[in-house]
């Protein structure tokens, strides 16, 4: 921590590194000097900590001291280009091995930068000579697409770098491909010492039990689009933006192109400056959109996945997670896009519409990466499912509806607790709904002058009633669609009947006098 603190007074000029970055390079080279030549080392550093800077300086130093070559692997075209430019800025002449590369002059280079799939094709076709590659660096090493290439580098020192040393595939843990992990500075340390901005988070309790999990272990695009493209969810997103981030530069992450397009139309119809970007855009379109986003102070960009890596825009003020994910890596990558510091920017806003913070904990929490690396299943299996997360929610009325019940001190009714209390006394579960109806009737009568007012307020309680019935159905383990649908209709009929039969009596109990005719 002391090293990081002193580095604040030694900001980089040209290619001067911070002390914590120099310390990381020393640690890695110590391993390089003492470990076997085929050692596989993993290095973790948060997004924004300067992984590319660190390994670029490593390449420069390595080439000065060793008569062998270096290969840097990335998984995306943008990262390939950015890595090549960073290496060049460190004085490392390098050759990009892409699908169009002419390899006739490969002997003239001591450093190659390649995308994993292109490299795989070139190596299988025996088009690239890697016999004297002594150091292989893998960027975003948590992706499993790299592991198929390890067989070509059985005598090379492999260094993987990542912000999250947790495999994207539970069946292929990183400890199976790397011998050990070096953990870099924590997010909190980087924030405390002005290298990263602090996240101010606004969480919304979201009902996500309709989402389905696909073969990759994450939520499917189809189920996500069905939920997040609904008018209710689009309205919730718009209101969350207007409440917490209106006028701020905002990046929205979605799970699905159709959702992102619907977000675009919703915000555009509200007169807000927004553009949509997905992987179907041409290079020219992408460049134009990102240029507009950079130059427009209150710009909103709605996107799908492609801006999670290889995208650096320090002017972002707000990140909106308009999706849920089961991937810790994706969670950290998305929020990390807003953490870059710039001028006086010391904090940024995160709006979580996917229960992600409930699932993984706060961004920047002190995770034990060594334990996660060594026992990934133990960590993954402890991530709570949506039903458990949502079981702890305290349902709250939307603000506009709550204003209709302003004369009521409290409008919350804990179905789960009332059910527990009733069953522990040997009472029938039906009393839970009877007590709920009585409480709903009470708040309607508290805020009405006559029975017609009360019946009008009861109609507004549809969502509140739906939520209570869903909770009750789970309590009694009967949650078929037909049963829940019948229960909701029956509840509304009984609430209306209760109001008609008991309005005068309850009104007098509340106010001390009968209603005025």
Closest listed residue to residue 339, CA positions, set 46, 17, 6, 52:
46
Is the CB of residue 73 less than 8 Å from the CB of residue 116?
A: yes
Give the three-state DSSP class for 97: strand
Q: State residue 269's pLDDT score.
A: 97
> Average pLDDT for residues 161-167, to the nearest whole number?
89
Confidence of residue 5 (pLDDT cuts 50, 70, 90): very low
Higher pLDDT, 254 or 117: 254
- 292 contacts: CB under 8 Å, gap ≥ 6: 275, 299
> Average pLDDT for residues 291-307, to the nearest whole number?
90
Q: State residue 153's pLDDT score.
A: 85
Q: State residue 190's pLDDT score.
A: 92
CA distance 335 to 289: 21
**Helix and strand totals (H; E) in the chain:** 21, 13
| Percent of the chain predicted with pLDDT > 90 | 55
DSSP per-residue letters across 277-305: E-TTS-HHHHHHHHHHHHH-TT-EEEEES
pLDDT digits (tens, 9 = 90+) for 372-389: 999 888 888 888 888 788
Q: State residue 4's pLDDT score.
A: 39
Asked if pLDDT for residue 340 goes beyond 70, the answer is yes
Asked if pLDDT for residue 462 goes beyond 70, the answer is yes
CA distance 237 to 192: 31
Q: Lowest mean pLDDT: which of 181-185, 228-232, 339-343?
A: 339-343
CA distances from 265 to 176, 233, 268, 324 (A): 46, 14, 5, 21
Q: State residue 15's pLDDT score.
A: 63
CA distance 426 to 24: 63
Q: Which of 464-468, 488-492, 512-516 has the highest mean pLDDT?
A: 488-492
Mean pLDDT of the chain: 88
Tokens of residue 282, six digits: 């041409």
Q: Which of 140-144, 167-171, 495-499, 513-517 has the highest mean pLDDT?
A: 495-499
Q: State residue 442's pLDDT score.
A: 96
pLDDT digits (tens, 9 = 90+) for 477-513: 887 888 989 999 999 999 999 999 999 999 999 999 9
Give the three-state DSSP class for 161: strand
Higher pLDDT, 250 or 99: 250
> Average pLDDT for residues 331-351, to the nearest whole number?
89
Q: Lowest mean pLDDT: which of 161-165, 194-198, 307-311, 426-430?
A: 307-311
Q: Scanning the structure block, which residue is given the tokens 């509200």?
A: 270
Q: How far is CA 139 from the centre of its chain?
A: 20
Q: State residue 345's pLDDT score.
A: 80
Tokens of residue 345, six digits: 């920017």
> Average pLDDT for residues 347-361, to the nearest whole number?
95
Q: State residue 309's pLDDT score.
A: 62
Q: State residue 272's pLDDT score.
A: 97
CA distance 73 to 159: 10
CA distance 138 to 160: 5
- 56 contacts: CB under 8 Å, gap ≥ 6: 83, 86, 87, 89, 90, 92
């Amino acid at each position: 921590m002391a090293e990081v603190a002193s580095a604040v007074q030694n900001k980089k000029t040209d290619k001067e590194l911070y002390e914590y970055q120099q310390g990381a390079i020393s640690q890695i080279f110590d391993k390089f000097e003492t470990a076997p030549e085929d050692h596989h080392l993993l290095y973790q550093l948060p997004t924004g900590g300067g992984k590319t800077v660190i390994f670029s300086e490593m390449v420069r130093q390595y080439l000065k001291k060793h008569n062998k070559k270096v290969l840097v692997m990335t998984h995306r075209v943008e990262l390939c280009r950015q890595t090549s430019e960073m290496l060049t800025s460190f004085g490392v002449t390098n050759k990009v091995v892409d699908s169009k590369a002419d390899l006739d002059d490969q002997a003239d280079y001591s450093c190659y930068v390649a995308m994993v799939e292109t490299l795989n094709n070139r190596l299988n076709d025996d088009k690239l000579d890697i016999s004297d590659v002594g150091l292989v660096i893998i960027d975003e090493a948590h992706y499993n697409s790299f592991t198929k290439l390890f067989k070509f580098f059985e005598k090379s020192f492999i260094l993987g770098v990542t912000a999250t040393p947790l495999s994207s595939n539970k069946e292929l843990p990183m400890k199976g491909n790397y011998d050990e992990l070096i953990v870099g500075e924590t997010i909190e340390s980087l924030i405390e010492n002005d290298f990263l901005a602090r996240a101010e988070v606004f969480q919304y309790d979201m009902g996500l039990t309709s989402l389905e999990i696909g073969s990759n272990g994450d939520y499917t695009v189809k189920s996500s689009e069905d939920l997040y493209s609904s008018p209710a969810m689009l309205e919730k997103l718009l209101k969350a933006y207007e409440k917490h981030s209106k006028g701020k530069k905002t990046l929205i992450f979605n799970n699905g192109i159709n959702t992102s397009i619907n977000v675009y139309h919703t915000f555009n119809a509200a007169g807000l400056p927004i553009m949509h970007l997905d992987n179907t855009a041409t290079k020219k379109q992408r460049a134009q959109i990102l240029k507009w986003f950079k130059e427009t102070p209150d710009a909103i960009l709605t996107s799908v996945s492609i801006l999670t890596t290889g995208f650096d825009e320090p002017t972002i003020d707000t990140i909106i997670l308009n999706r849920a994910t089961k991937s810790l890596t994706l969670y950290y990558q998305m929020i990390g896009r807003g953490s870059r510091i710039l001028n006086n920017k010391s904090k940024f806003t995160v709006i979580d519409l996917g229960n992600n913070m409930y699932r993984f904990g706060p961004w920047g929490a002190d995770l034990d990466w060594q334990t996660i690396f060594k026992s990934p299943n133990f960590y993954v299996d402890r991530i709570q499912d949506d039903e458990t997360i949502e079981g702890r929610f305290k349902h709250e009325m939307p603000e506009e509806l709550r204003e209709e019940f302003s004369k009521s001190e409290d409008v919350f009714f804990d179905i789960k607790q009332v059910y527990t209390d009733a069953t522990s006394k040997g009472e029938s579960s039906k009393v839970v709904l009877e007590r709920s109806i009585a409480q709903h009737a009470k708040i309607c009568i508290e805020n009405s002058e006559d029975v017609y007012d009360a019946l009008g307020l009861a109609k507004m309680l549809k969502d509140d009633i739906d939520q209570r019935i869903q909770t009750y159905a789970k309590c009694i383990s009967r949650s078929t669609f037909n049963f829940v649908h019948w229960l909701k209709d029956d509840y509304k009929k009984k609430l209306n009947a209760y109001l008609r039969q008991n309005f005068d009596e309850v009104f007098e109990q509340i106010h001390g006098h009968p209603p005025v005719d």
